[in-house]
């Protein structure tokens, strides 16, 4: 299943918190696509995914918004 | 970081908790301002978790935290920092999390005597008691100076391997960090919360005074972190972007505030908080022009858009420096 998170105009760590909340409702191998504006997500989302074992499959920065795709572990 | 590392070294599973109150100071909040773009925009708690190889749970406590800020049982520190109540609140949240997730005790990085309010020998038992954590709250960095906790009594943690730090100095902590091979560590306590910042809390008090009540929403407290805040008249305040990053951030609020920006020249994006008359519109436009690249010009075209959908552009003369009264700065 694919889910979307619109985290535009949220500052970190709120995009991370929204991602964690969404993942808690997901199954392994679900995919989540996030839209973000805060450049802090470029560090925070990959770091949070690394410590929780989820995988980033794509990050697109241009054009804005930043688009991050996460594969749920 | 050090407290968690000491417990990890004893073979115990540790997971990190980080509470988002809305008042947190972080590299990425500062990153709104492009002039600091060279600084790494990282979340320090996440960075620490990665260094330690542990999971970190970031928990949104914005709504619940309001009671701590608005009605602290133990009062405020030098500004609006309710440090002792904050500590009780967070340890209580940690205790609930611990129980829900099958963990046995809580570890914090507190050190006796390190902070004047929440980390004194007399106040540390208050945190343990009022949070309900009691003897399941272990402060490994200063365990030697405190009564034995449950994990020490049960032998889950070897107390003899824990240091006995005390006082405000950080030298022993820095030495311990080096002994673990940490070359970098996060901000010491106190600098991580806007409620300890005089400029920020002045703006928060101004917000409460003009709202007529002590209350806030997340957007209120986020906007206090950004821009130049001026109150040219008692009934309205302007938040003026200081550079491109802040202008971009403030534009995200254009649907919720009257706003102004220069059309004829480069300049700030400004939000207007409060009801403004036609006379005020001219003043707000003049203030906006004052902080544009055309502050020395005679004529600057400024666009003003109201919340009800009205909008108009007008040519104004930027205010002179002496027109911006010191009392306007919040």
Q: What are the structural domains of chain A? A: 2-71 (3.30.110.40)
- Rounded to an integer, what distance in angstroms lies between the CA atom of residue B133 and that of residue B143? 16
Task: Give the distance, in angstroms, between the CA of residue B95 and the centroid of all CA atoms in the same chain.
Answer: 23
Q: Is A60 helix (H, G, I), strand (E, B) or coil?
A: strand
Q: What is the mean predicted confidence (pLDDT) over B140-151?
A: 96
Map out the domains of chain B with their CATH numbers: 2-195 (3.40.50.620), 226-328 (no CATH)
The per-residue pLDDT for range B286-295, each reduced to its tens digit, is 999 999 999 9
- Rounded to an integer, what distance in angstroms lies between the CA atom of residue B13 and that of residue B54? 8
Task: Give the distance, in angstroms, between the CA of residue B15 and the centroid of all CA atoms in the same chain.
Answer: 23
In sequence order, the 6+-apart residues with CB closer than 8 A to the CB of B119 are: B110, B111, B112, B113, B189
Residues 20-59 of chain A with CB under 8 A from chain B are: 20, 37-40, 42-44, 47-48, 50-52
Q: Return the beta strands (E) in chain A as ranges.
A: 2-7, 31-36, 55-60, 66-71
Collect all residues of chain A within an 8 Å Cβ-Cβ radius of residue B59.
Answer: 17
Cβ <8 Å between B20 and A17: yes
- Rounded to an integer, what distance in angstroms lies between the CA atom of residue B88 and that of residue B163? 24
The widest CA-to-CA distance across chain B, in whole angstroms, is 78
Stretch among A10-14, B9-13, B107-111, B115-119 having the lowest mean pLDDT: B115-119
Cβ <8 Å between B32 and A11: yes
* pTM more than 0.95: no
Cβ <8 Å between A51 and B222: no
**Among candidate residues B293, B289, B251, the one with its CA nearest the CA of residue B269:** B251
Q: What is the mean predicted confidence (pLDDT) over B126-144?
A: 97
> Residue B40, Cβ neighbours under 10 Å: how many?
11
Please tell me which residue, B300 or A38, carries the higher pLDDT value. B300
Distance between A1 CA and the closest CA of chain B, angstroms? 24
In sequence order, the 6+-apart residues with CB closer than 8 A to the CB of B212 are: none
């Amino acid at each position: 299943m694919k889910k979307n998170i619109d985290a535009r105009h949220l500052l970190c760590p709120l995009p991370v918190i929204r991602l964690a909340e969404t993942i808690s409702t997901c199954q392994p191998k679900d995919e989540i696509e996030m839209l973000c504006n805060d450049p802090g997500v470029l560090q925070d989302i990959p770091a949070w995914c690394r410590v929780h074992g989820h995988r980033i499959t794509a990050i697109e920065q241009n054009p804005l918004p930043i688009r991050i795709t996460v594969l749920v572990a | 970081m050090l407290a968690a590392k000491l417990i990890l070294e004893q073979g115990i599973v540790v997971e990190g908790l980080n509470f988002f109150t809305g008042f947190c100071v972080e590299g990425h909040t500062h990153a709104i301002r492009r002039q600091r773009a060279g600084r790494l925009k990282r979340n320090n708690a996440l960075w620490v978790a990665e260094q330690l190889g542990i999971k970190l749970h970031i928990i949104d406590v914005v709504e619940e935290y309001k009671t701590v800020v608005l009605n602290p049982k133990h009062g405020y520190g030098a500004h609006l920092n309710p440090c002792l109540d904050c500590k009780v609140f967070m340890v209580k949240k940690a205790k609930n999390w611990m129980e829900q997730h099958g963990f046995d005790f809580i570890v914090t990085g507190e050190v006796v005597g390190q902070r004047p309010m929440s980390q004194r020998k007399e106040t540390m038992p208050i945190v343990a008691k009022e949070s309900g954590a009691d003897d399941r709250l272990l402060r490994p960095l200063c365990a030697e100076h405190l009564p034995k906790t449950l994990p020490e009594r049960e032998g889950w943690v070897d107390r003899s391997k824990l240091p006995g730090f005390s006082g405000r100095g950080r030298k022993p902590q820095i030495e311990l960090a080096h002994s673990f091979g940490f070359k970098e560590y996060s901000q010491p306590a106190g600098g991580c919360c806007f409620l300890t910042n005089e400029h920020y809390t002045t703006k928060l008090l101004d917000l409460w005074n003009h709202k007529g009540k002590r209350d806030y929403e997340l957007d209120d407290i986020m906007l206090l972190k950004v821009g130049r805040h001026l109150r040219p008249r008692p009934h309205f305040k302007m938040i003026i972007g200081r550079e491109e990053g802040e202008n971009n951030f403030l534009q995200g609020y254009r649907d919720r505030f009257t706003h102004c920006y220069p059309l004829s020249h480069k300049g700030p994006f400004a939000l207007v908080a409060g009801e403004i008359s036609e006379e005020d519109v001219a003043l707000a436009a003049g203030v906006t022009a004052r902080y544009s690249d055309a502050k020395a010009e005679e004529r600057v075209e400024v666009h003003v858009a109201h919340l009800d959908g009205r909008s108009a552009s007008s040519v104004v003369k930027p205010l002179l420096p002496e027109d911006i009264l010191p009392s306007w700065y919040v």
